[in-house]
Amino acid sequence: MARVAAHLTEMLGLYPAHIQKEDQRFFLPAMDHFSAEEQASMLGQMWGFDRKLIHQRYREMVEQLEGRER
């Protein structure tokens, strides 16, 4: 458990700067190369993918925990 906590603490230190760099220096400038329709389509697809992914991940976690209880 201590190893997990140490890794999470390290990630917390790196994550905000990474996200800022990704959002400000990559994502927003890259979007300038697409039309408004293309941007809307991509954002819609990403939202749908993320929504499914998070539900899939939590479903897998629940199934793993249920398997341990048996």
- Listed in sequence order, the residues at least 6 apart from 39 whose beta carbon sits closer than 8 Å to its beta carbon are 31
pLDDT per position as a tens digit, 52-70:
877 787 788 888 888 876 6
When mean pLDDT is compared across 13-17, 27-31, 60-64, the lowest value belongs to 60-64
Would you say 39 and 31 are in contact if contact means Cβ atoms under 8 Å apart?
A: yes
Lookup: tokens for 70: 């048996």
What's the pLDDT at 70? 60
Average pLDDT over residues 23-47: 91
When the pLDDT of each residue in the chain is averaged and rounded to a whole number, the result is 87
pLDDT of 42 higher than 80:
yes
